[in-house]
Amino acid sequence: MPGGGFSKLPNGSVVVALTLPSPAGDGRKVRVLVHAANRARALTRLRNLGLRAVYLRGNTEPPTPDEITAVLHHPDGLLWRTAPQPEAEELWHPIRALLRP
């Protein structure tokens, strides 16, 4: 079962972090970050990109402060990288790079 969680920001918006199977079907897992007005809107943003079976159950793996900073400074508010983090620190990628054919 994928893990995930959220953090509510002082301005009322949220950052949702989910660990999901890679859409490429290569057996990897990816950590996806979404910044949105609320949790429902964050999940809708992912579903609209084609990640249909995305649900947030509980708050077992909330975003870290570094993850929150990364997604807040990205213009799209949608980022990903492989999970668990490899020993060499991988940079965050825009969501378009994950969903490319």
Domain residues for 64?
A: 4-99
For residue 76, give both structure tokens.
Answer: 């799209």
For residue 62, count other CB atoms closer than 10 A to its CB: 17
Residue type, 96: R
86: pLDDT strictly greater than 70:
no
Q: How far is CA 80 from CA 10, 12, 32, in A?
A: 23, 23, 4
For residue 4, give both structure tokens.
Answer: 């995930």
1: pLDDT strictly greater than 70:
no
The residue length of the chain stands at 101
Report field, pTM of the whole predicted structure over 0.85: yes
Domain count for the chain = 1
Task: Convert the pLDDT of each residue in 41-84 to its tens digit.
Answer: 999 998 998 887 788 888 999 999 999 999 999 999 999 988 87
